[in-house]
Amino acid sequence: MKQITTSQELRSYRDTCTGSVGFVPTMGALHEGHISLVKKSVAENDTTIVSIFVNPTQFLPGEDLDAYPRKIAADIKICELAGVDCLFMPTTDAVYTREEPAICAPKIKGYILEGYHRPGHFDGVLQVVLKLLNLTRPTRAYFGKKDAQQLYLIQNMVRTLFLTTEIVPCDIVREKDGLALSSRNVYLSPEERERALLLSKSLKRATKMIIEGERDAEKIKTQMRKILSPTAIEYIEIVDRDFNRLDEIEIDNTIILVAAKVGTTRLIDNMWV
Ligand code: AMP
């Protein structure tokens, strides 16, 4: 596996690739969720490039940029074992210069839900993803449905900026008990981890209500709010696949989203219905 730290090296490496290229951007501290994306890319492409970069521009002041878990030695091993061909691990200086054109997330869909609670977060996400897509020029890029709004905004960017990469959505990987895997789960104490389970529990309850015939979004959100009451709820929302708010569930076109703080740890989860 080739390990690269500068953008020039990555460009040169890309020029040597023949056939299809799969790309999996991450912030490291890799877990089974990341690995599922990597395995899909390895299975579907001739070459797989993974990036590990804790992108400072997507963190707001006061967020966990400095504390964000970093496990680089383990990550390298994981990528090697998964069959990654090239691992890009740039420093901040290798990605950003002092003065740059601004990338702004769409004014509405980039500033609701996650974007409302983390204003500017998606500007940073789109900025780094655009740079990484330009460097790797992948045939396919793999993103988790765990970050559903991020996935939507990246698909929107690729479509509206006429990029040629196919964005491949990947299912959420969970622990046996339902907790969605996240690099941030390491922040949770055993007691907090129990409470964190309420996110997936509330989504399971919502799904059960829908299976039983409930279509009223407000009624579903009320039940979820009750389940999530031991957490600090940031939002519970039901949207269609284009992130328009829904009053009525539309089967095969609905995403139920939740964000809540457990202790000081901010968690998100969602269910595609
Ligand atoms: P991150 O390192 O948190 O920026 O995540 C890198 C990629 O992995 C993103 O596309 C995430 O949506 C995806 N991802 C993170 N957690 C999971 C999970 N539990 N299941 C599936 N994909 C995930």
Per-residue pLDDT of 61-99, as tens digits, reads 999 999 999 999 999 999 999 999 999 999 999 999 999
Phi, psi of 267 (to 5 degrees): -125, 145
Pair of tokens at residue 149: 């709004």
Question: Does residue 180 have its Cβ closer than 6 Å to ligand 1?
Answer: yes
* Rounded distance between C-alpha atoms, residue 23 and residue 176, angstroms: 28
Residue 4, SS3 per DSSP: strand
Atom of ligand 1 nearest to the CA of 147: 12
Pair of tokens at residue 76: 């390298």
CA of 109 to the centre of ligand 1 (A): 20
Q: Please report the pLDDT score of residue 99 as a whole number.
A: 94
Question: Does residue 64 have its Cβ closer than 6 Å to ligand 1?
Answer: no
Q: Please report the pLDDT score of residue 97 as a whole number.
A: 96
Confidence band, pLDDT 50/70/90 cuts, at residue 210: very high
Query: Where do you find CATH 3.40.50.620 in the chain?
Result: 2-170
Atom of ligand 1 nearest to the CA of 142: 10
The chain-wide mean pLDDT, for the chain, equals: 98
Q: How far is CA 62 from CA 58, 98, 149, in A?
A: 12, 22, 22
- Please give the class, per CATH, of domain 2-170: alpha beta
Q: Which residue has the tokens 């196919």?
A: 166
CA of 208 to the centre of ligand 1 (A): 25
Contact between 105 and 123 under an 8 Å Cβ cutoff? The reply is yes
Contact between 74 and 194 under an 8 Å Cβ cutoff? The reply is no
CATH code assigned to 183-272: 3.30.1300.10
Q: Nearest Cα to 48, choosing from 38, 63, 35, 57? A: 38
Q: Please report the pLDDT score of residue 131 as a whole number.
A: 98
Query: Where do you find CATH 3.30.1300.10 in the chain?
Result: 183-272
CA of 98 to the centre of ligand 1 (A): 29
With a threshold of 0.85, does the pTM exceed it?
yes
Q: Please report the pLDDT score of residue 15 as a whole number.
A: 97
